[in-house]
């Protein structure tokens, strides 16, 4: 999936768990993090050497897309005493990323186990699913915000 879809789905996930725009922003940025293992990805371009090392050492959609990585990030945020709500937003954004990757391809969710999880789709369908996920997540985000404004 493209970075826009990962950002929007991560933001939606962050908003759902925190009910705040800051949580949405945190979730959106966290949604970009797993693709740090891809030098051509939005975040990977900012740290090309690290990104290439990750891809070369572990491969794409492996360690940084795994429950092990999410748990390590969660423990690190807990250790550094980050506000619990933003820890949840980060974890929600990370999980949204892998969930989205799993509807357009396969992810080594249980790394270091070699098993890959997800649906393999043809490239043209991957693009369509990417677009649909992005607009659905954006629509859901707007609907939730409006609901919170109306209901309070
Ligand atoms: Zn990914």
CA of 151 to the centre of ligand 1 (A): 35
Residue whose pair of structure tokens reads 């693709």 in the numeric block: 35
Q: What is the pTM of this model?
A: 0.94
Establish if 77 belongs to a structural domain.
yes
The answer to the question of residue 152 being in a domain is no
**pLDDT tens-digit series, residues 72-124:** 999 999 999 999 999 999 999 999 999 999 999 999 999 999 999 999 999 89
Q: What percent of the chain has pLDDT over 70?
A: 100
Secondary structure (3-state) at 107: strand
Give the range of the structural domain holding residue 89, as residue numbers without chain letter. Answer: 3-144
Nearest Cα to Cα of residue 8 among 22, 21, 33, 25: 25
In the chain, which residue ranges form alpha helices assigned H by DSSP? Answer: 3-18, 21-30, 48-58, 67-79, 84-102, 123-151
Please give the distance, rounded to the nearest whole angstrom, from the Cα atom of residue 86 to the centre of ligand 1.
21
Average pLDDT of the chain is: 96
How close is the Cα of 106 to the center of ligand 1, in Å?
A: 10
Asked if the structure places residue 121 within a domain, the reply is yes
Could you tell me the distance, in angstroms and rounded to a whole number, from the CA of residue 29 to the centre of ligand 1?
13
1 pLDDT above the threshold of 90? no
* Upstream peptide bond of 112 is cis (omega within 30 degrees of 0): yes
Asked whether residue 151 is assigned to any structural domain, the reply reads no
Question: Could you read off the pLDDT of 33-49 as tens digits, one per residue?
Answer: 999 999 999 998 999 99
Residue 123 Cα to ligand 1 midpoint, Å, equals 15
Q: Which two tokens stand for residue 102?
A: 């799993």
Q: In this structure, what are the phi and psi dihedrals at residue 47, rounded to the nearest 5 degrees?
A: -130, 65
């Amino acid at each position: 999936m493209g970075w826009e879809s990962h950002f929007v789905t991560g933001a939606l996930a962050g908003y759902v768990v925190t009910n705040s725009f800051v949580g949405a922003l945190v979730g959106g940025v966290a949604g970009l993090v797993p693709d740090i293992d891809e030098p051509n990805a939005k975040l990977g371009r900012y740290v090309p050497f690290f990104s290439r090392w990750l891809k070369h050492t572990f491969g794409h959609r492996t360690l940084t897309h795994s429950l092990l990585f999410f748990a390590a990030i969660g423990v690190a945020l807990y250790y550094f005493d980050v506000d619990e709500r933003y820890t949840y937003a980060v974890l929600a954004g990370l999980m949204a990323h892998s969930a989205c990757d799993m509807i357009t391809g396969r992810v080594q969710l249980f790394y270091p186990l070699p098993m890959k999880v997800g649906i393999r789709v043809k490239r043209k369908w991957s693009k369509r699913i990417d677009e649909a996920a992005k607009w659905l997540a954006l629509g859901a985000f707007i609907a939730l915000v409006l609901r919170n404004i109306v209901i309070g």
